[in-house]
Structures are given as structure tokens and as C-alpha cells.
């Protein structure tokens, strides 16, 4: 019987989707503050202005690097809901520091430090720490949300569809954020005239809204998803928590032993680097071009870029039959072509259009990276989110390169390189080690295993039999029967399914030795004992 979606069944899904919207909105607000704060905080900086401006993104994504893995462990320990609440409390604290930076700028704007020949106000450093806390909160929230959305049993949907829908709502937040920064936070004031004290009211309001959302979430019903984290059960007689029988008896694996996850983390490092590099540094490039007479709107460019995310994710959310891997390859090739043309022509409108192709990359990479991880999923999510630190590294590299060469144009080689890494993952990097038949043999068919094998070929010295797709073993003529035979065909024929015992495996030479005789001898020994 086909199940339909109800408000009750979709409630937890919609709640986390809304919180993901908040994550996208505030992440982009943080990034879009680079340009205005470059004027408000760094007006007296001369030699390192671009570098210091991009440190706002660096601080934000540093939170991902330092806190993602710990959040994965916390998730295993206390569950989804408690981890979610703690994550949102960190967000409230981050907004409090944003507010503090505005108040310091308003009342103690002359206080600061000299770095080389540049004066940097204290308000800038307070904002940096607030940015770090916001990044920490965003990392914690995504460690919770990503595996929950991927595994949530919403009737009639596939994991990549749910991920794309949630990411589309997230993109709506990123799309409206640039105009919130320019039209609300700075009230339409020209970038040359912005001041940090204009942040006070907006950040106060946002802090109160997030505090209320946190309280509301604490009252909501958010059940755990079975099979996505290492479960524990309470042993009341001892008054302590111990692993469940299944998890205690199961052989534990290092999370890094999953090849497709390991390379997925590396890939997301480069993906977020190019996503944030375009989303944030495109505005800085536009401001430089405006200084040379170009008619550009940084807010509109950012809106088009993040709006492309929203459109692409909404469209892909309706595609039920498109696998994530070919989707990733297709959009990456398109992004590479468009970025290369944009860089060579210095047409930032084309750069903004790359957002349409970036839209589905996150969901594709995440879905591929956690595929088949089962109880390791929650821990993998924490490790995966460490890769988001790429959003701190590559935009700063661009800023340093822009200060060095005095132009932003060819700094786009940095995010372009990131795109090629993503393409590599789609083409080569995503290949689960567990799909390799020799890995299956190693893990599930040790020497001494008795299994069924299908005879697929004959030689003068024995018969070849298929154990697994892609792996044939040799039954030497001396091991076919418990008596001397002249040729294998006297006992076996192609197509026969026989019981064999694995007697030896040479993984270096990819050779497997099988024996029917060993089983016959074992049966004879058992009969004699009776």
C-alpha cells in the first residue's frame, strides 16, 4: 500500500528544513558582510585590506574544521534533538558577539591595534570571533541535518530528492541574504558610507528570533532515525550505559576505511572552496571593477548566484530517476566551461550563473560519500563536515593572490582548480572499496570458508569455478575428487554448481585455490567418528 505524506509524517523533515534555511541565510549574511565591513572596519588598512576581509570567511569555516568531528561523536552519544538544541544555542551566542562588535564600533571605535603599518579596530576581531561561533553552529547543525534528511523515511521520496529540496530551501535563505545586508542592515546606504553601528538593531533582532526558534525546537517531537548512529542502551541494573548487543558484537571499522567517504571529504573541501570563493569574492571583484567605471551591483550578482542554487535544487528535487554520480559529472563540466569563459572575459554575470550548476553538487557528493555506511552514517557526517573548511582556505588564497598581483581576474584559477577535483571524484574518486570483489572476498570469505561455486572453465590441470562476480578460483585436478582421476571432465562439467572449500588466497597475484576433496575428507572423518 502506497503511503502518502501527511503533516505528522513530514513534521520533523520540515522543521529541520526550516533550520537549514536559517543556516543558509546567516552563512551568506556573514559572507556578504565582507564587502561592507571592509569599509566599516578596515577603512584605515592599506596593504592587507583584501586579506583581512576574507578572514571573515576563514573564521567562519574554521568552526567547521574544529568542531565537526566532535559533533558527530556528540550525536552518537546524545541523539539528534539534544545535539540540535546545543547547536542553536551556539548560534545565539555567535549573534551576541556580532552585536557586541557593532556596539564596540559605535562607542569605542578608536580602540584597536596596529598590524605593521595598518590600524585594525577591536570591533573587527570581535566580529571574527562571532563569525567563528556562527561557523561552529552551522557545522553542528549540518552534522545533524544532513544524515537525518538523507535517512528520514518520507513516503515516496529518494535521499537525493530530500537533500535537494532541503538544500533548495537553504538556497532561498542564501538568495535573500544579500539584499537583507544591503537593504536592511545598511539600509540602502552606499558602500562607501557604511558604518558598523548600523549592525546593532538587525543583529539584536536576529538573535531574539533564533533564541525563540531554539525554544520552539526544544518543544518539538524529533525522533531518532534507526540505523544511522551507533546505538546505546541503558542497563538499569548497573545504572550505566553500555553498547547494544549488536554493536558490541560487530567488528568496528575506522570511519576512514571507507574509500568513497574519504575521497568525498577531500572533494567537499574543494567544492566548498569554490562555492564560497565565488559567492563572497565575486563581490570584492565587483567593487574593484566599479572603482574602474564598471556598472555592477554586488548585491544583484550575489542574488543571481545564490538564486541559481535555489532554482537548480528545486528542479533537481523533482528528478526521481537521475543518479547522483552522472548528475555530478554533468554539472561540473558545465561549471568549468562557464567559469573559464567568465575569467577570460572578466564577465561577472557569467560567474554568477555558475550557481545554477553548483546547486546540486553538495547533495550529490554527500549522498555518494555516505552511501551504504548504515550505523556509521552519523559519525561519517561529522567527518564529512570537516571538509567544509575549504570555504576558509580557498577564498583567503584568492584574497592573498589579489593583493599580490593587484587584480582579481586570474585569481579565479583557484576555484577553477577546485572544479577539476570535483570532476575527478565523479569520474574516478567515487568507487566504494566494498564494491571491489577482492575486498568482499577478504572480508567475507577467509581461508577455510565453504561456499557454492559455479564451474566456468576446464583445463588439463583442473577446473575454474566462480566464487563471486569477477573472481574465479582454481580447483586443481588433485582436489576435485577423493580418488585419482584422469581429467577434470570425468567428474565436472561447465555450469555445475559445487560445494568447495577455500584453501588458499594470494591477494598479490589474485589467485584463489579451491578444494572439493577437502570437504569429502572432512565428511569421511565425521562419519568415522560417529
Q: What domains are defined for the chain?
A: 7-221+258-435 (1.20.1250.20), 437-529 (2.40.50.140)
- pLDDT of res. 236: 35
118-121 and 112-115 as β-strands: parallel, antiparallel, unpaired? Answer: antiparallel
C-alpha cell at 30: 556573514
Antiparallel, parallel or unpaired: β 450-459 and 497-506: antiparallel
**Is the distance from CB of 178 to CB of 33 less than 8 angstroms?**
no
pLDDT computed for residue 251 by the predictor: 47
Per-residue model confidence (pLDDT) at position 269 = 92
What are the grid coordinates assigned to 88, written together? 542553536
pLDDT at 240 (0 to 100): 42
Q: What is the pLDDT of residue 68?
A: 79
Q: Which of 386, 219, 354 is nearest to 274 (CA)?
A: 354
Could you write out the DSSP letters of every residue in 153-193? Answer: --TT--HHHHHHHHHHHHHHHHHHHHHHIIIIISTT--GGG
- Whose grid coordinates read 595598518? 118
pTM score, two decimals? 0.61
- The grid cell for 470 is 569477477
Cell readout for 227 is 540505523
Dist CA 204 CA 132 (whole Å): 18
pLDDT value for 333: 96
Tell me the β-bridge partners of 113.
120
3-state SS class at 374:
helix
The rounded Cα 91 to chain-centroid distance in angstroms is 20
Q: State the cell numbers at 506.
A: 594470494
Retrieve residue 331's grid coordinates. 554539472
Task: Report strand pairing: 471-476 vs 462-468.
Answer: antiparallel
Length of the chain: 530
Q: What is the Cα–Cα distance from 511 to 467, expressed in whole angstroms?
A: 12
**3-state helix vs strand vs coil in the chain, percent to 5:** 70, 10, 20
Residues 6+ apart with CB under 8 A from 447: 502, 503, 504, 505
**Whole-number pLDDT of residue 524:** 60
Distance, CA of 307 to CA of 330 (rounded, Å): 20
Which residue ranges of the chain lie beneath pLDDT 50? Answer: 1-2, 232-251
Contact by Cβ (8 Å): 220, 210: no
Four-point Cα dihedral 404, 410, 416, 421, nearest 10? -40
Amino acid at each position: 500500500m502506497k503511503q502518502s505524506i501527511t503533516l505528522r509524517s513530514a513534521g520533523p523533515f520540515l522543521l529541520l528544513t526550516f533550520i537549514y534555511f536559517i543556516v543558509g541565510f546567516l552563512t551568506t549574511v556573514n559572507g556578504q558582510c565582507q564587502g561592507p565591513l571592509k569599509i566599516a572596519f578596515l577603512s584605515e588598512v592599506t596593504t592587507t585590506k583584501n586579506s583581512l576581509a576574507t578572514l571573515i570567511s576563514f573564521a567562519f569555516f574554521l568552526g567547521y574544521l574544529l568542531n565537526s568531528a566532535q559533533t558527530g561523536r556528540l550525536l552518537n552519544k546524545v541523539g539528534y534533538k539534544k545535539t540540535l538544541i546545543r547547536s542553536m544555542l551556539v548560534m545565539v551566542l555567535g549573534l551576541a558577539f556580532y552585536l557586541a562588535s557593532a556596539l564596540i564600533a559605535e562607542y569605542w571605535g578608536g580602540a584597536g591595534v596596529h598590524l605593521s603599518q595598518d590600524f585594525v579596530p577591536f570591533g573587527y576581531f570581535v566580529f571574527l570571533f562571532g563569525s567563528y561561533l556562527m561557523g561552529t553552529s552551522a557545522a553542528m547543525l549540518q552534522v545533524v541535518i544532513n544524515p537525518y534528511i538523507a535517512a528520514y523515511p518520507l513516503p515516496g521520496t529518494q535521499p537525493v530528492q530530500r537533500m535537494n529540496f532541503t538544500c533548495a530551501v537553504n538556497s532561498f535563505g542564501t538568495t535573500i541574504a544579500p539584499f537583507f545586508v544591503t537593504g536592511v542592515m545598511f539600509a540602502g546606504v552606499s558602500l562607501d558610507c557604511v558604518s558598523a553601528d548600523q549592525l546593532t538593531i538587525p543583529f539584536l533582532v536576529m538573535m531574539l528570533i533564533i533564541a525563540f526558534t531554539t525554544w520552539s525546537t526544544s518543544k518539538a517531537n524529533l525522533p531518532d532515525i534507526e540505523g544511522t548512529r551507533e546505538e546505546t542502551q541503558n542497563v538499569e541494573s548497573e545504572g550505566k550505559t553500555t553498547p547494544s548487543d549488536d554493536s558490541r558484537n560487530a567488528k568496528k571499522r575506522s570511519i576512514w576505511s571507507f574509500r568513497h567517504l574519504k575521497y568525498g571529504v577531500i572533494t567537499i573541501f574543494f567544492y566548498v572552496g569554490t562555492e564560497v570563493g565565488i559567492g563572497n569574492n565575486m563581490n570584492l571583484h565587483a567593487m574593484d571593477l566599479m572603482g574602474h567605471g564598471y556598472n555592477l551591483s554586488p548585491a544583484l550578482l550575489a542574488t543571481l548566484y545564490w538564486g541559481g542554487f535555489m532554482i537548480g535544487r528545486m528542479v533537481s528535487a523533482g528528478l526521481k530517476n537521475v543518479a547522483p554520480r552522472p548528475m555530478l559529472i554533468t554539472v561540473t563540466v558545465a561549471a568549468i566551461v562557464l567559469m573559464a569563459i567568465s575569467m577570460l572575459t572578466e564577465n561577472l554575470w557569467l560567474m554568477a550563473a555558475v550557481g545554477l550548476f553548483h546547486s546540486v553538487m553538495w547533495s550529490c557528493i554527500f549522498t555518494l560519500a555516505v552511501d551504504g555506511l548504515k550505523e556509521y552514517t552519523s559519525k561519517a557526517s561529522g567527518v564529512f563536515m570537516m571538509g567544509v573548511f575549504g570555504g576558509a582556505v580557498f577564498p583567503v588564497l584568492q584574497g592573498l593572490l589579489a593583493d599580490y598581483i593587484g587584480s582579481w581576474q586570474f585569481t579565479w584559477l583557484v576555484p577553477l582548480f577546485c572544479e577539476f577535483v570535483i570532476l575527478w571524484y565523479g569520474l574516478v574518486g567515487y568507487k566504494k572499496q566494498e564494491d571491489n570483489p577482492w575486498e568482499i572476498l577478504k572480508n567475507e570469505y577467509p581461508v577455510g570458508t565453504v561456499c557454492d561455486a559455479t564451474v566456468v572453465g576446464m583445463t588439463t590441470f583442473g577446473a575454474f569455478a566462480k566464487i563471486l562476480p569477477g573472481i574465479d578460483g582454481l580447483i586443481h585436478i588433485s582436489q576435485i575428487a577423493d580418488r585419482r582421476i584422469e581429467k577434470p571432465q570425468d567428474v565436472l562439467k561447465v555450469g555445475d554448481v559445487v560445494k568447495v572449500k577455500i584453501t588458499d588466497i594470494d591477494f598479490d597475484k589474485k589467485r584463489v585455490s579451491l578444494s572439493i576433496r577437502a570437504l569429502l575428507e572432512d565428511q569421511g572423518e565425521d562419519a568415522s567418528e560417529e
